[in-house]
Chain A
Amino acid sequence: MSHEGTLLFLIAVLPFVGALLPGLMIRAGRTVCAVSTAVPTLLALIMLLVLAPAVLRGEVVQANIDWLPQLGLSASFFLDGLGLLFAAMILGVGLLITLYARFYLSGDDPMGQFYTYLLLFQGAMLGIVISDNILLLLIFWELTSLSSFLLIGYWKHLPEGRQGARMALAVTGSGGLAMIAGMLILGSVVGSYNLTDILQAGDAIRASEWYLPALILILLGAFTKSAQFPFHFWLPHAMAAPTPVSAYLHSATMVKAGVFLMARMWPALAGTDAWFYIVATTGLITMVIGALIALFKDDLKALLAFSTVSHLGLLTMLLGFGTEAAAVAAVFHIINHLTFKAALFMTAGIVDHETHTRDIKRLGGLRHLMPVTFLIGTVAALSMAGIPLFNGFLSKEMMLEEASHTDWFGSPYAVPILATIGALLSVAYSFRFVSHVFLGPKREDYPNAPHDPPFGMWAAPAILAFLVIVIGVAPFLAEGIVTAAANAITGADLHPHLKIWHGVTPALWMSIVAVLGGAVLLTLHRPLDRAWISAPRPEAKPMFDGLVAALVAASRWITDISHNGAISRYLAIFTITSVLLGFAAYSGSGLAMPTRGLLGVPPVIAVGWIMLIVATVSIVVMHHYRFRALTLLGIIGLSISAGFAYLSAPDLALTQISVETVTIMLLLLALHFLPKVTPKESAIGLRIRDGIIALAAGGGVGSLAYAFMMRDIETISDYHIDNSYEGGGGTNVVNVILVDFRGYDTYGEIIVLGIAGLVIYALMHALLDGPAAKRLKNTDYSQDRSRDRHPLMMVVVTRVLMPIALVVGLYIFLRGHNQPGGGFVAGLVVAIALLMQYMASGFAWTQERKKIEYHTMIGLGVLVAGLTGIGAWLLGQPFLTSAYTYVHLPPIEEFELATAMLFDLGVFLTVLGAVMLMLYSLSRIARFAGETVNVTPMDYDPGGYVTDEEAER
């Protein structure tokens, strides 16, 4: 990167780096804080001035750093005449505003924050004007919206500030979003996002079929930012910001970003009818409407705001004309507007600051009390009115000159007349600003006794007013920069001459009409004002607020009815979606020919099948009675187990039976604390709807199953069968799959089980700490309880069964690798054996006899399984690689030892622990609900006959 490029890059970065300073330096005092804001600005300005001579000679300074090449986004900057003009304005006015704000802000305002925001804005704005990449430009564009949002909302306790900030963000933000689309289109038309490339591809762009969409989208961005009709309404509301912000963002710089963009894009987009009619017309309308409203605003800042709208319209119109002379006029007016309008805003701020009001109707006669302010304000206002020897006159003449020979839809008069009216209104409100605020008699009822502010406060507007006169008297001084900027816009080599006297031209006559007419209009202001106030007119703010409120209400409505919390509906939608999409996918292709025939149905199976159907239908009918539903569920589970056994899946059958048993037992225990009957909540219509959905889904799953059961397919399971013994050391391929081929799945699943145990435990604690605990305590469960909770027969039988069950469990565990069984089933069987003890003799009695904590058991199980897997690492094998060997111990037959069994032990422990932890949680709830604790195995002691008799006595 060249030396100049580095400087340019530094200019772009300085404000952002500088933004860190004020927030810290405020701790050293307000003046230090202001200085720390001025320093980066000043540095950037100096660097800019170093670059200026080259740019004025017509060179272009460039800097480029790659950022996101995939997208075509690069941090590239370039400085040409237009960029130089704007950058100088941004930095120069930035300095003046920094000075002004130092005195304007009160001691209560967080000044550090203000200056930080200001510098952020300055950096963003600077970025816009020197970006050489339109995506980069977009980034800065959005950043100005954001920093403007923060600055407008700076006085966050004021509702106007907050609303104005949100409105500005919404309007400029939406424009920015439209512009994103426009820029992306532009980029794809040109094939590059680099401005330099785009500006050279004007013909290709205008010829593209995407020209109009791109133009409209980009103009939307520009118009919203530059407050063009009908998006102008946000700007007056942005005046809720502190006055330095209004002067800086909302008159001098940010609102000109749209104008800048149109100027920047001029070579690429201008020169078509669409451009002329959209841009010039919008500008013209905005100019007139803005000026008209400005005349009737009593708030000084509102008056200036609408005047700004009007002048932005003027600039837009000039750019819309698309001629080179109009471009020159626009550039010149940008400079002139900056000087007088910023000065006026600062004047208004001073008046507000001193008198504590901005209401014109409460002001007047300030000339005597604030002579300096009066002088500055008058100079600036006369320039705004376009009085000769002030700079505003010059550019307004040029504008009228251009307007005078512009044809609009075949009419040569429309534009000149409307332009003259605009100028006339402009004269009127400018004169009003002077006469109603400063002239007239001194009043006695100012809210605060006014006097001229300290030098620091009027210095900045004074400098601007000085410039107004200098340029007004010696316009050739601005020729260099105007030429450079105009050449940058048009790409032509222009040599405009700025001079005061052009001879007697139509523009002069129009100007004379405007000044005289404006003066007359002002004398008629009082009656006109009354008419204006009584006349019905659309107000933007209520309309905007109404629109937002309506959008919010509509959003709320949509969200509320769609997310109403009805899980049954969510599930219905999910099911319908699955069925419909499944069907759609199915319809897109066909099936292979069936390769299997149907099997016959033996009578036993038919009975089982009918039992399954009957039980299922019965559940649907009786599900409100939970106990019955649970019983039926048991029947279904057993039928399915039988089905598995019939279809030669003994492992599945075993697992299913034990899972079924444990589940039903636990559910029964849980049901104790729940209502026994479910209320009927759904209306008949809903039930029919749900029925249809359920049948459709069931039918879908059924036909899917039917479709694939009719077809043979080569699966990977052949490999499993072939390798089960040799590779996995087991003849039960199901078990080998579970603990070896796909041991990792099992590992995951036991962890699921372990987590479930944890979650249930955590849930139980959360419940018992919450309001549910009270309900538990206050519900009388005694009616549900058996009089003999721990019956003798059951206690005796479970005691006898216990060792048998344990041996069975051990057996199932050991044979697992070769025969149906395994750790999972074994764990469940042992769990059932223990569960029975709990049911027979109560939890506390059993609890006393258990040695190992269930938490630990789960943890141990998961760890054992995991460590078994890791063990393979020691031999350099991947996780869960198994090894096995055959051991021969004399009294016993030769048997196998496999690491898979260790893994299975982990499964066993986790299953057992999880089930028992669930039981433990249930019993905690039971004790909470007031269940008594017994320490004896039975409620009555068969050997304690006497005691019992005594008790009865």
Chain B
Amino acid sequence: MHWIILPVVLPALLAPLIGFVMRHDIVLARTASLAGTAAFFAIALGLTTMAADGATHVYRLGAWPAPFGIILVLDRLSALMVLLTGTLAFIVLVHAIATGWDARGRHFHALFQFQLMGISGAFLTGDVFNLFVFFEVLLIASYGLMIHSGGKERMRAGLQYVIMNLAGSTLFLFALGTLYASTGTLNIADLAARIPEIPAEETALVRVAAILLMIVFAVKAALFPVQFWLPATYANAPAPVAALFAIMTKVGAYAILRVHTTAFGPGVPGTESLAGTWLFPAAIVTIAVGAFGVLGARRLMPLIAFSVVGSMGTLLVSVAAFSTTATTAALYYMIHSTLAAACLFLIADLVVTRRSADTLHPEPATAQNGLFAALFFAAAIAMAGMPPLSGFLGKLLVLDAIRAPGFIGWAWSAILVGSLFTIVGFARAGSALFWKSTAIADPVPQTAVDAAADTPSHATTVQVAPVMLGLIALAALAIFAGPVSAYLDDTSAQLFDRKGYVDAVMDPVEEG
């Protein structure tokens, strides 16, 4: 069964072909990229079905036994993440192609496929060093995508992005060095088996490694106080890329869930309470940072970027509880916020390209003002956590899951007040963009040619379809919340079954 590695190998083979063989023809590159992404999605779907049986599937690279070789692990969680990646990637790719973003610079599709490879590699690996490698892959690919088509502001923001994340990578190496020096292994299951054996009073080094790893993942997940890079990055990235990046923050959240649950998690004396203790207050502040950013935003793209920061705060508040119920809530919210953020960025793209800038000043209404307003409204209420889309249910699940005294007050106030700020912020933005604009008389177009050249008038069906698809997905997530959470319940139960994970990975006879 080589299915497990396909989400890595498929884009890894496709990307060089697109980048190096098809680079002179955009149609060819598009076709290959689209076909590859569709196949990726199909594989992800297959993997999810495969993982649904509850077994932890292990793929031993090079046929080496764990923990000596690298292994891939497919359980419900990793399958879910890969599926989410595939869904998002397909939506974003169609948008990028339909709007012509992919042709505004070099190597979009190759980088896109490499990015997919990096993300799915990070989700599937069972080895922390390998996680580092895939963090590198997705970092460098995302940097390439981030500065796609250039521009001064974008270059500047891209530099910050790459510097901040390289600093994170450096810390990652320090953390891995410390971890290896104190446990002698880098396989997550092996770590989970070895760390509890270290006497509790001698765990200083492991603790340092655990907390440094958390900071590394927090950089990716844009958690306070290492979230500073995100708003400028997302706001200046090409919109489809920003939409794809919605999954990138989730890589950080996933890594915290995986590593800090399985390796350092509940039941491990010495490290079990470490992550939650620091994660919780940081997540609370992150919600506040996001809320302030949304309310104070002067431009649309930063507004959405800050709403992403806020949603990461909510997500990590739930993660910080490190309990099965809270993890179910976190996962539901994760699916939701990924799709919601992507929808917002894609709509923003449709709107902003029809205006002079993304500033929240009224300009004459664009063509299809009503359509864009409706789409924006839908995505905004999803992001702000209003019904009927999945955001409200996600928020309820998170609130419901956090009931521990000492946490409840902070978490509930932060999430609810944060929601209010977000609602008001989005209402102000939408009102300025879509309502106030109708009060401004359309300036008389200078010449017919001018008007035709300046305004990319009507959005084609294909351009709107990805957003619609995303919104439909959000609606479906709300309607089928029951079955989805049932799956997620199983997922978090499996995640917290540390022994099951260790046994599956370390079992010498099990064949992947």
B226 part of interface (Cβ distance < 8 Å): yes
Query: Given B62, B133, B289, B396, which contacts A73 in the complex, CB threshold below 8 Å?
Result: B396
| Given A716-B185, A748-B130, A751-B117, CB of A551 within 8 Å of CB of B400 | no
- Whether B295 contacts A71 by the Cβ 8 Å rule is no
B270 part of interface (Cβ distance < 8 Å): yes
Shortest CB-to-CB span from B66 to chain A, Å, is 9
- Whether B130 contacts A744 by the Cβ 8 Å rule is yes
Query: Which residues of chain A (546-602) have a CB below 8 Å from chain B?
Result: 548, 551-560, 562-563, 565, 567, 569-571, 573-575, 577-578, 581-582, 584-592
Q: Which 10 A-B pairs have the closest CB atoms?
A: A859-B20, A766-B150, A555-B296, A708-B181, A715-B184, A556-B296, A156-B435, A859-B16, A759-B144, A748-B133
Query: Which residues of chain B (150-200) have a CB below 8 Å from chain A?
Result: 150-152, 155-156, 159-160, 163-164, 167-168, 171, 174, 177-178, 180-187, 190, 199-200
Shortest CB-to-CB span from B477 to chain A, Å, is 11
B105 part of interface (Cβ distance < 8 Å): yes
- Whether B431 contacts A71 by the Cβ 8 Å rule is no
Alpha-carbon separation in the docked complex, A587 to B397 (Å): 36
| Given A166-B428, A555-B296, A762-B144, CB of A578 within 8 Å of CB of B171 | yes
Residues from chain B with Cβ under 8 Å of A569 in the complex = 228
A769 part of interface (Cβ distance < 8 Å): yes
Q: Which of A474-482, A819-827, A876-884 contacts B (4 or more CB under 8 A)?
A: A876-884
Shortest CB-to-CB span from A10 to chain B, Å, is 17
A sample of 9 inter-chain contacts (CB < 8 A) reads: A68-B397, A68-B482, A138-B396, A157-B438, A184-B396, A559-B293, A563-B232, A574-B219, A748-B136
Q: Which of A286-294, A302-310, A618-626, A735-743 contacts B (4 or more CB under 8 A)?
A: A735-743
Residues from chain B with Cβ under 8 Å of A858 in the complex = 16, 19-20
- Whether B69 contacts A754 by the Cβ 8 Å rule is no
B298 part of interface (Cβ distance < 8 Å): yes
Residues from chain B with Cβ under 8 Å of A145 in the complex = 386
Total chain B interface residues with beta-carbon distance under 8 A:
138
| Given A143-B388, A184-B399, CB of A570 within 8 Å of CB of B150 | no
Q: Which residue of B lies closest to A705 (CB)?
A: B177
Alpha-carbon separation in the docked complex, A188 to B401 (Å): 11
Q: Which residue of B lies closest to A181 (CB)?
A: B412
Known: A715-B180, A771-B152, A881-B62. 17 other contacts (CB 8 A): A157-B439, A165-B431, A169-B424, A555-B294, A559-B297, A586-B208, A588-B270, A589-B200, A589-B204, A708-B205, A715-B185, A748-B130, A758-B110, A860-B20, A863-B13, A870-B9, A878-B2
Residues from chain A with Cβ under 8 Å of B174 in the complex = 701, 704
Residues from chain B with Cβ under 8 Å of A867 in the complex = 13
| Given A153-B431, A169-B427, CB of A558 within 8 Å of CB of B387 | no
| Given A741-B62, A759-B144, CB of A181 within 8 Å of CB of B204 | no
B102 part of interface (Cβ distance < 8 Å): no
- Whether B62 contacts A740 by the Cβ 8 Å rule is yes
- Whether A66 contacts B164 by the Cβ 8 Å rule is no
Residues from chain B with Cβ under 8 Å of A140 in the complex = 387
Interface of chain B, main secondary structure: helix
Residue of B17, B211, B306 with most chain A CB atoms under a 10 A cut-off: B211
Residues from chain B with Cβ under 8 Å of A749 in the complex = 133, 136
- Whether A68 contacts B296 by the Cβ 8 Å rule is no
Residues from chain B with Cβ under 8 Å of A859 in the complex = 16-17, 19-21
Shortest CB-to-CB span from B445 to chain A, Å, is 21
Q: Which residue of B lies closest to A742 (CB)?
A: B70
Query: Which residues of chain A (138-183) have a CB below 8 Å from chain B?
Result: 138-140, 142-143, 145-146, 149-150, 153, 156-159, 161-162, 165-166, 169-170, 173-174, 177-178, 180-181
Residues from chain A with Cβ under 8 Å of B13 in the complex = 863, 866-867, 870
Residues from chain A with Cβ under 8 Å of B130 in the complex = 742, 744-745, 748
- Whether B164 contacts A713 by the Cβ 8 Å rule is no
| Given A139-B388, A713-B182, A878-B512, CB of A570 within 8 Å of CB of B439 | no
| Given A184-B400, A878-B60, CB of A559 within 8 Å of CB of B296 | yes
Q: Which residue of B lies closest to A588 (CB)?
A: B207
Alpha-carbon separation in the docked complex, A161 to B427 (Å): 13
B63 part of interface (Cβ distance < 8 Å): yes
- Whether A169 contacts B423 by the Cβ 8 Å rule is yes
- Whether B9 contacts A869 by the Cβ 8 Å rule is yes
Alpha-carbon separation in the docked complex, A728 to B456 (Å): 59
A940 part of interface (Cβ distance < 8 Å): no
- Whether A755 contacts B140 by the Cβ 8 Å rule is yes
- Whether B219 contacts A73 by the Cβ 8 Å rule is no
Q: Which residue of B lies closest to A177 (CB)?
A: B416
Residues from chain B with Cβ under 8 Å of A24 in the complex = none
Alpha-carbon separation in the docked complex, A66 to B482 (Å): 8
A417 part of interface (Cβ distance < 8 Å): no
Q: Which residue of A lies closest to B306 (CB)?
A: A559
B12 part of interface (Cβ distance < 8 Å): yes
Shortest CB-to-CB span from A902 to chain B, Å, is 14
B134 part of interface (Cβ distance < 8 Å): yes
Alpha-carbon separation in the docked complex, A565 to B163 (Å): 12
Query: Given B160, B416, B486, which contacts A570 in the complex, CB threshold below 8 Å?
Result: B160
B333 part of interface (Cβ distance < 8 Å): no
Shortest CB-to-CB span from A711 to chain B, Å, is 7
Residues from chain B with Cβ under 8 Å of A589 in the complex = 200-204, 207, 270
Shortest CB-to-CB span from A551 to chain B, Å, is 6
B90 part of interface (Cβ distance < 8 Å): no
Contact with B along A69-80 (1 / 0, CB 8 A): 111110000000
A67 part of interface (Cβ distance < 8 Å): yes
Shortest CB-to-CB span from B480 to chain A, Å, is 9
- Whether A769 contacts B167 by the Cβ 8 Å rule is no
- Whether A862 contacts B434 by the Cβ 8 Å rule is no
B148 part of interface (Cβ distance < 8 Å): yes
Alpha-carbon separation in the docked complex, A177 to B149 (Å): 42
- Whether B428 contacts A878 by the Cβ 8 Å rule is no
- Whether A582 contacts B427 by the Cβ 8 Å rule is no
Alpha-carbon separation in the docked complex, A385 to B388 (Å): 41
A761 part of interface (Cβ distance < 8 Å): yes
- Whether B107 contacts A762 by the Cβ 8 Å rule is yes
Shortest CB-to-CB span from B287 to chain A, Å, is 13
Residues from chain B with Cβ under 8 Å of A143 in the complex = 387-388
Residues from chain B with Cβ under 8 Å of A170 in the complex = 420, 423-424, 427
Q: Which of A99-107, A253-261, A398-406, A719-727 contacts B (4 or more CB under 8 A)?
A: A719-727
- Whether B293 contacts A162 by the Cβ 8 Å rule is no
Shortest CB-to-CB span from A173 to chain B, Å, is 5
Q: Which residue of B lies closest to A153 (CB)?
A: B435
Q: Which residue of A lies closest to B278 (CB)?
A: A581
Shortest CB-to-CB span from A27 to chain B, Å, is 15
Alpha-carbon separation in the docked complex, A751 to B8 (Å): 12
Residues from chain B with Cβ under 8 Å of A646 in the complex = none
Residues from chain B with Cβ under 8 Å of A188 in the complex = 403
Residues from chain A with Cβ under 8 Å of B200 in the complex = 589
Alpha-carbon separation in the docked complex, A746 to B400 (Å): 44
| Given A68-B393, A188-B403, A740-B62, CB of A567 within 8 Å of CB of B160 | yes
A707 part of interface (Cβ distance < 8 Å): yes
Residue of A174, A584, A719, A745 with most chain B CB atoms under a 10 A cut-off: A745
Shortest CB-to-CB span from B483 to chain A, Å, is 10
B79 part of interface (Cβ distance < 8 Å): no
- Whether B12 contacts A71 by the Cβ 8 Å rule is no
Query: Which residues of chain B (57-87) have a CB below 8 Å from chain A?
Result: 59-64, 67-70
- Whether A758 contacts B111 by the Cβ 8 Å rule is yes
A677 part of interface (Cβ distance < 8 Å): no
Query: Given B23, B64, B117, B392, which contacts A139 in the complex, CB threshold below 8 Å?
Result: B392
| Given A573-B225, A748-B133, CB of A877 within 8 Å of CB of B63 | yes
B354 part of interface (Cβ distance < 8 Å): no
Q: Which residue of B lies closest to A591 (CB)?
A: B204
- Whether B296 contacts A711 by the Cβ 8 Å rule is no
Residue of A556, A705, A708, A715 with most chain B CB atoms under a 10 A cut-off: A708
- Whether B278 contacts A162 by the Cβ 8 Å rule is no
Contact with A along B90-128 (1 / 0, CB 8 A): 000000000000000111001100100100010000000
Alpha-carbon separation in the docked complex, A761 to B386 (Å): 44
